[in-house]
Amino acid sequence: MTIAAKDVAALRARTGAGMMDCKNALEETQGDVEKAIELLRKKGIAKAEKRAGRGATEGLIGSYLHFNGKVGVLVEVNCETDFVARTDDFQGLVKDLALHIASADPVAVSVEDVPKAVLDREREIYRAQAAESGKPEKVWDKMVEGRVKKFYEERVLLEQPFVKDDKQTVGQLVKAVSGKVGENVMVRRFVRFQLGEA
């Protein structure tokens, strides 16, 4: 199958991937643009995972202040070089993450960062709910684990569906940008302020 140059250019415009990567993806998917986008995203994520071990000490601190002045966010996102930190892709990611944090109110960056006290409290609540459900005791642990998984998806930044595109998680978005810029990209920390919150 011959792939037209305009199709390659259109795919490149949508994904930011290299021309040859776009051409190969279109050939591999017999010209199906949506499948080619999915393939490029998977490959970008795979490349990003290989980079994850490399040091990321450069980056930016992004901020977001809601229009009513009642919610504010600071987020630190790291990459490997100052050059990448100045790119539009990286700066756009930092802005999007600050907006997402303001909107979705996560409690931690990753599952590993969830404070033990918070997790213990949630497990206790879910165990009490399982006991009240009337279901046999032998399935309670499974019910608790299912609810803990749901808690992670709702309250952990990298597990949350991205507010601007809920077909991907924030973690997938970060990996996609990492694949696009060619460096390890990681969310280091954030703080979210809400007026009147303790």
Give the tens place of pLDDT for each residue, 56-100. 678 999 999 999 899 999 999 999 888 999 999 999 999 999 999
Considering the four listed CATH numbers 1.10.10.60, 3.30.70.270, 1.10.8.10, 1.20.120.550, the one that applies to the domain covering 5-51 is 1.10.8.10
- In the predicted structure, residue 175 carries a pLDDT above the cut 70: yes
Averaged pLDDT for residues 28-32 = 89
CATH 1.10.8.10, the chain: domain bounds: 5-51
> At the top level of CATH, which class does the domain 58-110+156-194 belong to?
alpha beta
Percent with pLDDT over 90 in the chain: 51
Give the tens place of pLDDT for each residue, 135-157. 888 888 899 999 999 999 999 99
Averaged pLDDT for residues 169-173 = 93
Residues near 181 by Cβ (< 8 Å), separated by ≥ 6? Answer: 79, 84, 87, 89, 90
- In the predicted structure, residue 180 carries a pLDDT above the cut 70: yes
- In the predicted structure, residue 15 carries a pLDDT above the cut 80: no
The answer to whether 130 and 140 have CB atoms below 8 angstroms apart is yes
CATH 3.30.479.20, the chain: domain bounds: 58-110+156-194
- In the predicted structure, residue 170 carries a pLDDT above the cut 90: yes
Given this model, what pLDDT does residue 97 score? Answer: 97
Indicate the range of 34-43, 115-124, 144-153, 162-171 predicted with least confidence. Answer: 34-43
- In the predicted structure, residue 4 carries a pLDDT above the cut 90: no
Q: Yes or no: is domain 115-154 CATH 1.10.3470?
A: no
Q: How does residue 7 score in pLDDT terms, banded at 50, 70 and 90?
A: confident
Reported as half-sphere exposure (CB side, CA atoms, 13 A), residue 157 has a value of 26
Given this model, what pLDDT does residue 99 score? Answer: 96
Given this model, what pLDDT does residue 47 score? Answer: 58
